[in-house]
């Protein structure tokens, strides 16, 4: 047994998992915080307007499935999610606008984390090159989460935006949501679709990478 390799793999896996959980939980917190500020107290009643990661974690989606993917199928499919934030759009003063803003808050939070990784990481790497690994992971993972969640397919955030854009009924949204995640899981493992997602993520990552390089020198 190559102990050194095993320890390195454990370290990388744990670092990936921690960054994933932080990113997922801030994504869900952003939904809750925005809904609360716009007038819907449902997330506050559920205890979701907090940065405590425990309340945002889903046992299967945030613990079991990601850990199995990371440590049993390294380099393969990685998928994870947080506990969805409940909202009541009827509490919003401007229902359609405020639901869209609440929905977009999650992906925007991930892009903000990518921006912070580029800026803070750029300065950190001036003094310690070892920070580069963490910066790359934080940047790429948050861009991936933002892009994935903006896919216009219910129940993803992009699906909610699409619902309001085309006037989709709640019934149709629910019916599509029942099967769409299974279809999506299969689709992202089809090489052309996976390649297309990779291209989109690379394009979104490009400005952050340029900013990081400018700061890091």
Q: How far is CA 108 from the centre of its chain?
A: 10
Residue 158 near residue 149 (C-beta atoms within 8 A): yes
Residue 200 near residue 147 (C-beta atoms within 8 A): yes
Question: 93: cis peptide before it, omega within 30°?
Answer: no
57 strand-pairing partners: 82
Give the C-alpha separation, 187 to 158, whole Å: 17
| Both structure tokens of 169 | 């009924």
Nearest to 32 by CA among 88, 71, 77: 88
Residue 170 annotated as catalytic: no
Q: Which of 28, 133, 170, 171 is catalytic?
A: 28
* SS3 state of residue 82: strand
Catalytic residues: 28
């Amino acid at each position: 047994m190559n102990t050194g390799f095993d320890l390195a793999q454990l370290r990388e896996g744990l670092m990936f998992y921690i960054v994933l959980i932080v990113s997922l939980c801030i994504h869900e917190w952003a939904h809750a915080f925005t809904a609360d500020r716009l007038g819907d107290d449902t997330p506050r009643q559920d205890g979701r307007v907090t940065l405590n990661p425990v309340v945002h974690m889903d046992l299967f989606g945030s613990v079991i499935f990601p850990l199995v993917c990371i440590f049993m199928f390294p380099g393969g499919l990685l998928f994870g999610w947080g506990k969805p934030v409940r909202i009541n759009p009827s509490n919003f003063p401007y229902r359609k606008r405020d639901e869209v803003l609440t929905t977009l808050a999650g992906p925007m939070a991930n892009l903000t984390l990518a921006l912070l990784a580029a800026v803070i990481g750029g300065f950190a790497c001036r003094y310690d090159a070892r920070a580069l690994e963490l910066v790359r992971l934080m940047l790429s993972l948050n861009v991936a989460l933002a892009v994935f969640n903006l896919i216009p397919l219910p129940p993803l955030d992009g699906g909610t935006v699409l619902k309001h854009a085309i006037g989709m009924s709640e019934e149709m949204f629910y019916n599509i949501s029942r099967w769409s995640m299974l279809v999506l899981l299969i689709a992202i493992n089809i090489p052309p679709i996976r390649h297309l997602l990779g291209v989109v993520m690379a394009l979104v990552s490009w400005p952050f990478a340029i900013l990081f390089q400018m700061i890091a020198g």
